[in-house]
Structure 1
Amino acid sequence: MSGFTPFPPDRASHYRDSGYWAGRPLDEILQTAATQWPDRPAIIDDSARFTYAELDRRADSAAAGLSALGIGPGHSVLVQLPNNCQFAVALFGLLRAGALPVLCLPGHRDAELAHFLDLSGAVGIIAGCDSAYDYRAMAERLAQRPNQLRHIIIDGDAGPHIAWSRLCEGTGSTPQLQPDTSGPALLLVSGGTTGAPKLIPRTHDDYVYNATASAALCRLTSDDVYLVALPAGHNFPLACPGLLGAMSVGATVVFGRDPSPEAAFATIARHRVTATALVPALARLWAHACDWEEQLPATLRLLQVGGAKLAADDAEHIRSVLTPRLQQVFGMAEGLLCYTRIGDPPEIVDHTQGKPLADDDELRIVDDAGAPVPDGEPGELLVRGPYTINGYFRAEAENQRSFTPDGFYRSGDKVRRFANGYLEVTGRVKDVILRGGETVAALDLESHLLAHPRIAAVAAIGLPDPYLGEKICAAIVFRGSPVALPEINEHLDARGVAVHCRPDMIAPMPALPTTAVGKVDKRSLAAQLSG
């Protein structure tokens, strides 16, 4: 596929011979589950529930409907659905039709989706309906731009477009395909680190391993009930072990639309949820909510926390009030996953972010000159392995910056490695803000803000926040009198910027501080604004 960087032949052969890659198409996870556990509940949301056999049939019908539209091998389709059963039907339907799902997030807006359309050449979009935002209107605006978008498919009131419910009634034959499992199965979206978000191609081989090995490490079984509390298109709740890992062992998956403690605790009690994944901000909120919520998540046996570093004090509190089986997760949609293990002593669970999933995860921790640092010393993490990508999709310039000549991914994270192989995250190299589990590229936000006629200079920085982890602060030099935050966010809304990228506060400045070489000194700026 044009723009896809495959694994080098020698490493691919090693991963196959070592048993990491089984040559299984990703949608075979559902096929196998439907054979082994046909009558077990597979997926549940607020208004629907399907057994594995029913989900398997619906995926076949969706694939037939997509194929009848001419969507198949060689085509990409954007998927922007909320947490509900139709997300799973769409994912497996597209896989069976041979199309490439591009998993967007509900918070993405025109700017991000237009970028994804241009990169992927997508011919369709599957979107949901929401009273808080008109996704159908956004799809219509995107269709007016020069691109290859031909099919607008809506789960809900489709208006003049294709109704997802009707498409899923397809009665034609389901395509019988044998995909190349070393090629892309789906495209995840990056949080954006040096500019606009990038597309992350995950292959059938690497993603099946990602999900199934994670499920084994987390000791998931068919008796478990997994709650998708974070947006389902994220790598974390999708395959770490997430939706796919849970299905690989015949567990039940519950989709949650509201991660607030009141709603989530009720969902956990109703369905006897045993496992879920949260970002630190939500985990802290859930832990504090145990002081006032009457209904507590008593059935929860495994709580994964990742997406940002969890402080040791917070980890100890979460273990004491939510579940003793807290698991810290440090990973990236590009590949590498580190987990604390079930049974690890509290000092490891509280103070580290885990160790790599695979024996063949190769880690280099280097200083600013690229030289290895000894264990215990912080440095930038570089990685390659059986489930880490070798390049972003159709991003040649970014790949030159993000990958070494011998295929190591430059994560942009600073870590220290201990003698036992566990890692502690100590900071970041890349200029990003981790807000509520989402990665926001400061450069991209700054470019949007600079388009405002009243803004002369701007620096976007992350400031500590007890609920979000980091909040977005825009330090702005205005032309004339300052502009209020609501007008700033209206400007970003008009430019189609994702909801999670909007500033939480602005700080008018007479000038931005600079370093000796003339660059904006964000470190001193953060210290000044945090005081």
Structure 2
Amino acid sequence: MPRLPGDRCGGRRPRPPWPESTAARYRAEGYWTDEVLGRLPDDAGRADLPAVVTPDRTLTHGQLDLAADRLASGLSQRGIAPGDRIVVQLPNGADMVVLCLALFRLGALPVFALPAHRTAEITHLVESSGAVAYVCADRVLDCDHRELAQRILTRAGSLKHVLVAGDPGPFTALADADADPVSLPPPDPSDVALFLLSGGTSGPPKLIPRTHADYAYQLRASAALCGVGRDSRYLCALPMGHNFALACPGVLGTLRAGGTAVLAPAPTPDQCFPLIERARVSITSLVPPLVPLWLDAAEWTDSDLSSLSLLQVGGSRLDPATAAQVPDRLRCTLQQVYGMAEGLLNFTRPDDPEEVILHTQGRPLSPADEVRVIREDGADAGPGEVGELYTRGPYTLRGYYRAAEQNRTRFTADGWYRSGDLVRRTAAGNLAVEGRTNDVVNRGGEKVPCQEVEEHLLADPRVTAAAVVALPHPLMGEQTCACVVLRDGEPELTLRQVQSVLRERGLAAYKVPDRLVVLQRMPLTGVGKIDKRALRHHLAD
């Protein structure tokens, strides 16, 4: 496992969790270089060209570069040091981009929370990372993040700073962390640069340490595959804290290539279509539930979408019937993307046959990506056979941070990551996702860990048993169904009551169950565990 500055590691700098012989090979073959994150292209000719565009603000490359340097200096003067973990929960906007670059330059490590996270999730992220700071907006929709921060401060002992974009209330304004630029020692390429969150494991999210070297390679390789360069305009419609929107190639890959990142406050057509016209967006990314909404809106919009040339769709499997409509309705190329924050990325290529683009999720990004498909009996699956995806490579982690038990079960002794995804591989090497072995509901691309929700349900004194399962949904792909057994004598429990209780407990909105089923008893396996397979069959019937 990587060790980070600030941990009790004798002052040594962290190194990649790959075996040294493997790391040496990745360096020798050019996958890892001396590049570190946070730097923009050293090209004076781009200084006055737009780097970040939002509905109400534009930053040129020169302005973005200077703003990142000033913020890095200001954070340093306020006591943020290299290796410090910073939980970041900001909406899409210029502040988010500037902060990311500043933290990379400082050597502090962002922990990217998701917009829907609330008290329970943010507290977990602060405690599990040992974060010293939380950066948030003042208010987003119906959530006052300053009130959330006050609750977290009472629970998380490591937290020393709260920085707020906007009205800071009792805290410090992010805008006040501003100082004249100073020379800062650059990070080592092998240092951990950031933490992403696991989405496919049970229980609360695990922290995924990504190094400068491996993430920079992901940016370079994905930008090259997607044709992203100086003239590209990437629309970040999904939350920027997601690996997909951040770096596949996303905002960071586009900026690194000298292009323009266009940030939308929401992924809806009414927010995104005018930005596509105004900024001449050429590429964007969506999750499958959004695609039908965009297809329908494209029929009536007055916005000019002709600049859009590539639509990436990932997060869950896109059904072929919807996929087939993209070229005609949006007049652009569809690219299916299947990957994980833990590393491995698969893309369909723009010149792939239609059959591949519609019916698979592509093939690995890197020549150095290693993929195995393992059947239930432990044997390697042949072409067309379904099995669990195992992978390792130059940008796939070798262990979660501070998660020894999960590392024993999710990684093999020789470094293969067990994804929990069931896939089949075609003779040409493309992967088609068929399901999961792990206990997660894929709700429109948002991964809902069943075990975590079950623990919150069981905290209700009226509930004696709880199981969360996925049920099919025509738009979201899957919806979350909570099955509970009530204590004797308890009155009827309604879905609205359950949803209210879970929200009061600080659970993110996307994790709150969509359906509730009250049972007399749970079906059990032979060893006394809840039999979720039998439960799904019962619900289907």
TM-score range, shorter chain: over 0.9
Instruction: State how far apart, in whole Å, the 2-side matches of 1:236 and 1:36 are.
Output: 29
Query: Aligned match of 1:391 in 379, 390, 399?
Result: 399
Query: Aligned match of 1:245 in 239, 253, 269?
Result: 253
1:242 Cα deviation after fit: 0.2
Specify the alignment match of 2:241 in structure 1.
233
1:189 Cα deviation after fit: 1.2
User: Which letter maps to 1:269?
Assistant: E
Instruction: State how far apart, in whole Å, the 2-side matches of 1:433 and 1:292 are.
Output: 33
Instruction: State how far apart, in whole Å, the 2-side matches of 1:78 and 1:141 are.
Output: 15
Instruction: Give 1:208-227 correspondences, 5 Å limit.
Output: 208-227=216-235
Judge conservation of contact 1:81–1:87 (CA < 8 Å) in 2.
Answer: yes
Change (3 A) 1:34 1:500: farther
Which is further off, 500-509 or 355-364?
500-509
Instruction: State how far apart, in whole Å, the 1-side matches of 2:78 and 2:253 are.
Output: 31
Query: Aligned match of 1:511 in 518, 521, 525?
Result: 521
Query: Aligned match of 1:71 in 72, 80, 94?
Result: 80
- Does residue 1:138 correspond to 2:148, yes or no? yes
Per-residue CA deviations over 1:495-522 (Å, capped at 9, x if unaligned) read 2212211111212222222344433232
User: Which letter maps to 1:58?
Assistant: A
Judge conservation of contact 1:33–1:249 (CA < 8 Å) in 2.
Answer: no
Instruction: State how far apart, in whole Å, the 2-side matches of 1:402 and 1:35 are.
Output: 46
Instruction: Give 1:47-86 correspondences, 5 Å limit.
Output: 47-86=56-95
Query: Aligned match of 1:158 in 163, 168, 191?
Result: 168
Equivalent pairs, count: 527
Change (3 A) 1:118 1:468: same
Query: Aligned match of 1:414 in 422, 446, 463?
Result: 422
Instruction: State how far apart, in whole Å, the 2-side matches of 1:221 and 1:385 are.
Output: 25
Instruction: State how far apart, in whole Å, the 2-side matches of 1:314 and 1:33 are.
Output: 42
Per-residue CA deviations over 1:408-428 (Å, capped at 9, x if unaligned) read 000000111111111111110
Specify the alignment match of 2:386 in structure 1.
378
Per-residue CA deviations over 1:192-239 (Å, capped at 9, x if unaligned) read 512111110010000001111101000112222111011000000000
Specify the alignment match of 1:25 in structure 2.
36
Specify the alignment match of 2:138 in structure 1.
129
Which is further off, 481-490 or 306-315?
481-490
Instruction: State how far apart, in whole Å, the 2-side matches of 1:529 and 1:471 are.
Output: 13
Per-residue CA deviations over 1:96-136 (Å, capped at 9, x if unaligned) read 12211111111111111111111111111110122410111
Judge conservation of contact 1:462–1:472 (CA < 8 Å) in 2.
Answer: yes
Judge conservation of contact 1:290–1:296 (CA < 8 Å) in 2.
Answer: no
Instruction: State how far apart, in whole Å, the 1-side matches of 2:527 and 2:296 are.
Output: 45
Change (3 A) 1:35 1:484: farther
Specify the alignment match of 1:265 in structure 2.
273
Query: Aligned match of 1:336 in 332, 335, 344?
Result: 344
Please list every run of 5 or more consecutive structure 2 residues that lacks an aligned counterpart in the other structure.
8-13
Per-residue CA deviations over 1:320-370 (Å, capped at 9, x if unaligned) read 312341000000000000000011111000011000000110111112243
Q: Percent identity?
A: 45
Instruction: State how far apart, in whole Å, the 1-side matches of 2:44 and 2:125 are.
Output: 36
Judge conservation of contact 1:62–1:90 (CA < 8 Å) in 2.
Answer: yes
Tell me which stretches of 4 or more aligned residues in structure 1 moved more than 6 Å. Answer: none
Per-residue CA deviations over 1:160-190 (Å, capped at 9, x if unaligned) read 21111111x312x434213121121001111
Change (3 A) 1:34 1:434: farther
Instruction: Give 1:90-239 correspondences, 5 Å limit.
Output: 90-130=99-139, 131-167=141-177, 169-171=178-180, 173-191=181-199, 193-239=201-247
RMSD: 1.6
User: Which letter maps to 1:111?
Assistant: A
Instruction: State how far apart, in whole Å, the 2-side matches of 1:211 and 1:523 are.
Output: 40
Instruction: State how far apart, in whole Å, the 1-side matches of 2:106 and 2:99 are.
Output: 10
SS of equivalent residue, structure 1 residue 313 = helix
Instruction: State how far apart, in whole Å, the 2-side matches of 1:115 and 1:175 are.
Output: 34
Query: Aligned match of 1:445 in 444, 449, 453?
Result: 453
Instruction: State how far apart, in whole Å, the 1-side matches of 2:261 and 2:223 are.
Output: 13
User: Which letter maps to 1:72?
Assistant: A
1:294 Cα deviation after fit: 4.2
Which is further off, 361-370 or 57-66?
361-370
Instruction: State how far apart, in whole Å, the 2-side matches of 1:324 and 1:351 are.
Output: 18
1:460 Cα deviation after fit: 0.9
Instruction: State how far apart, in whole Å, the 2-side matches of 1:427 and 1:411 are.
Output: 11
Instruction: State how far apart, in whole Å, the 2-side matches of 1:72 and 1:34 are.
Output: 29
Specify the alignment match of 2:17 in structure 1.
6
SS of equivalent residue, structure 2 residue 230 = coil
Judge conservation of contact 2:105–2:187 (CA < 8 Å) in 1.
Answer: no
Instruction: State how far apart, in whole Å, the 1-side matches of 2:123 and 2:493 are.
Output: 28
Per-residue CA deviations over 1:440-485 (Å, capped at 9, x if unaligned) read 1111111111111111212111112222221111122223223222
After TM superposition, the score normalised by the length of structure 1 is 0.96
SS of equivalent residue, structure 1 residue 280 = coil
Specify the alignment match of 2:497 in structure 1.
487
Instruction: State how far apart, in whole Å, the 2-side matches of 1:385 and 1:439 are.
Output: 24
Judge conservation of contact 2:110–2:194 (CA < 8 Å) in 1.
Answer: yes
User: Which letter maps to 1:41?
Assistant: P
Specify the alignment match of 2:369 in structure 1.
361
Instruction: State how far apart, in whole Å, the 2-side matches of 1:353 and 1:422 are.
Output: 7
SS of equivalent residue, structure 2 residue 536 = helix
Instruction: State how far apart, in whole Å, the 2-side matches of 1:506 and 1:361 are.
Output: 42
Change (3 A) 1:20 1:35: farther
Change (3 A) 1:338 1:530: same
User: Which letter maps to 1:449?
Assistant: L
